[in-house]
Structure 1
Amino acid sequence: MRRLSLNARLAQEAEDSTELQVVLFRIDHPDLPAPIRLSTDNTERLASEPDVIYGTRSGWAGADPVSEPYLWVIASALVPSDLEDTPAAGQIVLEALDREMVRLVRSFTSRATIAMAVVLAASPDLVEAEFTDMQILSADIDAGEIKLSFSRDEIENEPFPAGRMSRGRFPELHL
């Protein structure tokens, strides 16, 4: 059973609510000097010179809310299909508002990891749902948007039971 705060539960069940759910993203890669932190809500103005920058201040995933805010990005989610024989995967579409975003995505040759948290805009430090240890499988870039496909490790391919019936582990079976 997943635990939700009372405010999140009331917001989900209300016909109309002033509570806004926000998704925070943390993208990590060994080549990055610091994780990329993104938010789906422009909660507050973080800077006005030289560019206007909005974002969300949260302490999720060890971030310092003052010096490491989650920067606002226009994002949408593509609902996964129910096709059989396909791995469980999700897709997020980020609006490529800056050439630097495209350059950064194209600069990696190995997989980055992504973690996501759902919070309420009024309480960004209280995590309602969290999804960690996922890998970015691909990044498709076209006409002003970046489509990130991500998935968890395929636990369906892990052996069950944990030990394999090999000669070294079960010598009596291989006489």
Structure 2
Amino acid sequence: MRRISLNQRLSHDAHTTEEIEAALFHIEHEDLSDPVRFSTDPTERLSDDPLAYGTRSTFNGANPVSQPFQFVLVSTDMPSDLEEAPAEATLVLENVTRGIADVLQMITTQASVHMALVLASSPNQIEAEYRDLKLVRAEGNASEITLFLSRQPIEEESFPSVRMTKQRFPGLHR
């Protein structure tokens, strides 16, 4: 069971609320000069020319002043809490701009994606966090791009594991 803040619990239990949940995404890859950061909520106006909205948060070490999370139209299926299955998520980016499409086409190997669920009123307080998801597949058309994220399956772990020798684990052989 994950812990959530009192504000989020109250917003879930209330019949109506002014609290807005926002999902923050941080995509990093060795081919990208800077990580891609985007948000599901236009929390505040970031600039007038060009007109841009986004969320300022310190999630994953971002500087809220110089590295805001840009607002994009995105729908998402958050990873489940099932213990027997790897965490999987789906992101659907709608009305994709040419810049986002170009960045995603540059990536040829798996990128790392970190996700966080926050309240727009308190974007620095992480309600739920999913780290080190891998971008395993991307599909798209003229109006949207679907990104499929997953954790590395446990079946891909190396077997047999490293041997417990004196050189590797000297504390075991006293």
* TM-score normalized with structure 2 length: 0.83
Are 1:76 and 2:75 counterparts?
A: yes
Instruction: Quote the offset at 1:160 in angstroms.
Output: 9.3
Tell me, in whole angstroms, the C-alpha distance in 1 between the residues paired with 2:162 and 2:69. Answer: 43
- Percent identity for Structure 1 against Structure 2: 45
Residue number in structure 2 paired with 1:149: 148
Once the two structures are superposed, residues 35-73 of structure 1 have per-residue CA deviations (whole angstroms, 9 ceiling, x without a partner) of 111000001110111x10000000110000000000000
Q: 1:66 to 1:91 in 2, by over 3 A?
A: same
Question: Please, which runs of 5 or more residues in structure 2 have no aligned partner?
Answer: 80-84, 164-174
Instruction: Quote the offset at 1:143 in angstroms.
Output: 2.4
Q: State whether residues 27 and 35 of structure 1, in contact with CA within 8 Å, keep that contact through their aligned partners in structure 2.
A: yes
Q: State whether residues 78 and 88 of structure 2, in contact with CA within 8 Å, keep that contact through their aligned partners in structure 1.
A: no
Q: State whether residues 96 and 102 of structure 1, in contact with CA within 8 Å, keep that contact through their aligned partners in structure 2.
A: no
Once the two structures are superposed, residues 70-91 of structure 1 have per-residue CA deviations (whole angstroms, 9 ceiling, x without a partner) of 00000012588xxxxx965321
Instruction: Quote the offset at 1:158 in angstroms.
Output: 4.5
Counterpart amino acid of residue 125 in structure 1: N
RMSD: 2.4
Q: How does 1:129-148 map to 2 (within 5 A)?
A: 129-148=128-147
Counterpart amino acid of residue 76 in structure 1: S
Tell me, in whole angstroms, the C-alpha distance in 2 between the residues paired with 1:19 and 1:56. Answer: 14
Counterpart amino acid of residue 110 in structure 2: R
Instruction: Quote the offset at 1:125 in angstroms.
Output: 0.2
Tell me, in whole angstroms, the C-alpha distance in 2 between the residues paired with 1:155 and 1:14. Answer: 39
Q: State whether residues 86 and 151 of structure 2, in contact with CA within 8 Å, keep that contact through their aligned partners in structure 1.
A: no
Once the two structures are superposed, residues 4-42 of structure 1 have per-residue CA deviations (whole angstroms, 9 ceiling, x without a partner) of 110001111111111110000000000111111100000
Counterpart amino acid of residue 104 in structure 1: V
Once the two structures are superposed, residues 105-159 of structure 1 have per-residue CA deviations (whole angstroms, 9 ceiling, x without a partner) of 1122111110100000000000000000110001111021110001011125558
Question: Please, which runs of 5 or more residues in structure 1 have no aligned partner?
Answer: 81-85, 165-175
Q: State whether residues 56 and 70 of structure 1, in contact with CA within 8 Å, keep that contact through their aligned partners in structure 2.
A: yes
Q: State whether residues 102 and 141 of structure 1, in contact with CA within 8 Å, keep that contact through their aligned partners in structure 2.
A: no
Detail structure 1 runs of 4+ shifted over 3 Å in the superposition: 156-164
Tell me, in whole angstroms, the C-alpha distance in 2 between the residues paired with 1:136 and 1:99. Answer: 20
Q: State whether residues 117 and 129 of structure 1, in contact with CA within 8 Å, keep that contact through their aligned partners in structure 2.
A: yes
Q: State whether residues 96 and 145 of structure 2, in contact with CA within 8 Å, keep that contact through their aligned partners in structure 1.
A: no
Q: State whether residues 92 and 146 of structure 2, in contact with CA within 8 Å, keep that contact through their aligned partners in structure 1.
A: yes
